[in-house]
Amino acid sequence: MDALVRTRVLRTLGQEIGHAHARQFARRYLEMLDRRLVHLSRALERADAERALTVSLGLATASAMVGAGALSEQAGAIVPALRAGDVAPARAALPQIRMLAVGTAEALAAELRAPRERVAPRTLGHARA
């Protein structure tokens, strides 16, 4: 699995909320990813630090929940500047955020297409064929 998505995190989420719900959450995350990027871009174009902050926090949190650590970290890195009302660092980071989002979407989609055994945890003491 690509390092952009840590499948262990997704498996842990599955253990906590159920694997079907975790897969649904991941699918919903993918459906909303482009929309979040559009909202972030528009907020930054308008110099709306408050809106950009809200979108960045949501992107960072949701990304962390599906194991998209690099995207989560990058989205979270712009939060302090946005809290201070400064959109310049976020504008500078936007190309990297977009690039990470594309790679994350590809990696997560591949994981969701994988056989269920890949996303479900293995039972201790029982080997899978």
Residue 116 pLDDT > 80, yes or no? Answer: no
How many whole angstroms separate alpha carbon 22 and alpha carbon 8?
12
pLDDT of residue 9: 92
pLDDT in tens, 59-95: 999 999 999 999 999 999 999 999 999 999 999 999 9
* Parent domain of 34: 7-114
Please report whether residue 34 resides in a domain.
yes
Please report whether residue 18 resides in a domain.
yes
Tell me if 27 sits within 8 A of 8, measured CB to CB. no
Please report whether residue 120 resides in a domain.
no
Q: How many domains, the chain? A: 1
Please report whether residue 63 resides in a domain.
yes
% of the chain at pLDDT higher than 70: 88
Please report whether residue 119 resides in a domain.
no
Residue 129 pLDDT > 50, yes or no? Answer: no
Please report whether residue 2 resides in a domain.
no
Residue 127 pLDDT > 90, yes or no? Answer: no
For the chain, give the mean pLDDT. Answer: 89
